Amino acid sequence: MSSELVSKEAGIRLLKQGKRGLFHMVFSRMGVIVLMLVAQVFAFFWMLQVFQEYLPHIYGGMAVLTAFLVLYLINTASNPTVKISWLILLMIVPVFGVLMYVYTKMDLGHRVLKARVHYLVRESVRLIPENVTVQRMLDGECAELANLAHYIRSTGYSSAYQRTEVTYFASGEEKFPRLLEELERAKHFIFLEYFIIREGLMWGEVLEILARKAKQGVEVRVMYDGTCEFSMLPHDYPKRLKQLGISCKMFEPLRPFLSTHYNYRDHRKIVVIDGHTAFTGGINLADEYINREERFGYWKDTAIMLKGDAVPEFTLMFLQLWSVSEKTCDFIKYLSYPTLPPENTKGFVIPYGDIPLDSHKVGKMVYMDLLNHAQRYIYIMTPYLILDGEMETALRFAAERGVDVRLILPGIPDKKTAYALAKTHYASLLSAGVRLYEFTPGFVHAKVFVSDDKKAVVGTINLDYRSLYHHFECAAYLYDMPVIEEIKEDVERTLRQCRTVTWETIRREPWYVKLAGRLLKVIAPLM
């Protein structure tokens, strides 16, 4: 291939910039919603013309069906906020509401995915046995965290690890050169799993290394979420990477009527190198994440690098989703590489994933555990604040019992709907003593919790319904590690660049933002 294919500055010229396909727009969740709305309007007027004499019977049947679904919903085990949204939808637009609910519950196209993921998690979790010695040490040092580790293990993921070094990156610009450096050192395999890959300098430099490493005999695998095809990469991009010796696949490509745009997306960001080094955090492979391109002011993001015994858990997470479309996968081969643990490390690490296909909401439970056990302070950075009743109550209760609760949110939003929804929680949180801040230089994309100088979580999990209920996610829980001080210092630096949310700023918010937030809140769990 010509050198043009591996140009760093222009990115890899294997592709033309992806375009948002009309086909996928029509058959995405929004397309289905619009189609059902049109169908309801058409059906309504059609019934008025054709069945005038039977209208009382039709309305009666609709009322009975709506009542049946209302009773059914009330008795399900779903989140109360989600129930309220469905109930309102059913009462206001019964025909559309019934059709949408049935469509959602049928879960077309995802039943095979659910069965396959459950099988892979169940069969592969035993390949990394629990470290009983570390668990006993944790029992003696912090009983509450030992209980949390037991819970995470019971959901199909790891317990606690020692002998792991964690490096914190306070921006994409900090992570990027270190990522390139570690990729250059790869000798056996490189696994990359990202929500977003977009052509540009960042991906160009990464891909140049991946292509060269593949030529040297290193096994390279790249997986990205199917929504990239929707707006960023062409459909045949995996074939184009194959020309460079790179195995590549989309996770859950969008399919007509069988896909929804928001459900079951792979929102993880994972890099694993030779089984001894892993990266995770909020940073995707696109130029705005390293502020090479400006989209919403300065892009504030974070990531961590792990070296040591905790890394195979990220290898396992990657292989579980990679294997969804594979007949076989040699998990043991990739879990058998030495982890090369550093010497004289302190503290504990719990890597964990979250899948939207079971009843365990691990990401949400870990966040609530942090809030419920915080004693002095808990600082949070999140790009979105779209809360259910339980999470809002946990935030309020932490503040009401005297904990210093601070949330850092974007000053310049990437999505106006999410921005309006976040502001619907401001008054409730502020009245409980939660302190709210907006990052004036731009957009906060970091997903960070830090508490009491002892605990922190860095990962991919936002404080919104998509991350907590609908996406594949991952993170690392850090306890009593030196890096926690760096995380706290970064949060405090970020706070100094924020404006404080007050009752006056809430009062001065434009009326149309307040109205949009209140209207959208009705359907927020379904977005």
At 508 the pLDDT is: 94
At 242 the pLDDT is: 95
pLDDT digits (tens, 9 = 90+) for 498-517: 999 999 999 999 999 999 88
| Mean pLDDT, range 111-128, rounded to an integer | 84
How far is the C-alpha of 10 from the C-alpha of 59, rounded, in Å? 61
Considering the segment(s) 362-526 as one domain, its CATH architecture is: 2-Layer Sandwich (3.30)
pLDDT grade, residue 96 (50/70/90)?
Answer: low
Q: Nearest to residue 331, comparing CAs of 312, 345, 347?
A: 312
Phi, psi angle pair for 76, to nearest 5°: -80, 170
Contacts for 409 with CB less than 8 Å, ≥ 6 apart: 382, 383, 385, 422, 436, 437, 438, 439, 444
Task: Specify the range with the lowest mean pLDDT, choosing from 42-51, 108-117, 203-212, 331-340.
Answer: 42-51
Task: Specify the range with the lowest mean pLDDT, choosing from 62-71, 167-176, 274-283, 424-433.
Answer: 62-71
At 16 the pLDDT is: 42
Helix (H, G, I), strand (E, B) or coil at 444: strand
Residue 365 and residue 182 in contact, taking contact as beta carbons nearer than 8 Å: no
The residue ranges of DSSP E strands in 285-347, in sequence order, are: 298-300, 303-308
Burial of 170 (0-12, 13-18, 19+ CB in 10 A): buried
The number of C-alpha atoms within 13 Å of 519 and in the hemisphere containing its C-beta is 7
pLDDT grade, residue 107 (50/70/90)?
Answer: low
Question: What is the enclosing helix (H) or strand (E) of 272?
Answer: strand 270-273
At 40 the pLDDT is: 58
Mean pLDDT of the chain: 86
Residue 26, pLDDT > 90, answer no
Residue 22, pLDDT > 60, answer no
Q: Using the 8-state DSSP alphabet, how is residue 109 labeled?
A: T
The domains of the chain are located at 22-106, 111-352, 362-526
Residue 349 and residue 168 in contact, taking contact as beta carbons nearer than 8 Å: no
* Sign of the CA dihedral running 251, 255, 257, 260: positive
| Mean pLDDT, range 60-81, rounded to an integer | 74
111-352 and 362-526 share one fold: yes
Tokens of 110: 């995802």
Q: Using the 8-state DSSP alphabet, how is residue 28 labeled?
A: S
Question: What is the enclosing helix (H) or strand (E) of 446?
Answer: none
How far is the C-alpha of 2 from the C-alpha of 477, rounded, in Å? 44
| Mean pLDDT, range 48-68, rounded to an integer | 70
How far is the C-alpha of 363 from the C-alpha of 340, rounded, in Å? 28
At 36 the pLDDT is: 55
pLDDT grade, residue 447 (50/70/90)?
Answer: very high
Hey, what CATH topology would domain 111-352 get?
Endonuclease; Chain A (3.30.870)
| Mean pLDDT, range 74-89, rounded to an integer | 74
Residue 460, pLDDT > 50, answer yes
Residue 158, pLDDT > 60, answer yes
pLDDT digits (tens, 9 = 90+) for 171-215: 999 999 999 999 999 999 999 999 999 999 999 999 999 999 999
Q: Nearest to residue 380, comparing CAs of 361, 390, 359, 366?
A: 366
Q: Decide which of 46 and 251 is more confident.
A: 251
pLDDT digits (tens, 9 = 90+) for 360-385: 899 999 999 999 999 999 999 999 99
At 113 the pLDDT is: 80
Q: Nearest to residue 292, comparing CAs of 7, 9, 73, 6?
A: 9
At 95 the pLDDT is: 66
How far is the C-alpha of 461 from the C-alpha of 269, rounded, in Å? 10
Residue 98 and residue 66 in contact, taking contact as beta carbons nearer than 8 Å: yes
Residue 383 and residue 445 in contact, taking contact as beta carbons nearer than 8 Å: yes
At 20 the pLDDT is: 42
How far is the C-alpha of 448 from the C-alpha of 455, rounded, in Å? 11
**C-alpha distance across the termini of the chain, in Å:** 44
Highest mean pLDDT among 19-28, 95-104, 150-159, 265-274: 265-274
pLDDT digits (tens, 9 = 90+) for 279-306: 999 999 999 999 999 999 999 999 999 9
Question: What is the enclosing helix (H) or strand (E) of 470?
Answer: none
Q: What amino acid occupies position 424?
A: T
Q: Decide which of 517 and 97 is more confident.
A: 517
Highest mean pLDDT among 29-33, 149-153, 200-204, 325-329: 200-204
How far is the C-alpha of 415 from the C-alpha of 46, rounded, in Å? 38
How far is the C-alpha of 284 from the C-alpha of 117, rounded, in Å? 24
Residue 311 and residue 166 in contact, taking contact as beta carbons nearer than 8 Å: no
Tokens of 450: 């830090």
How far is the C-alpha of 40 from the C-alpha of 42, rounded, in Å? 5
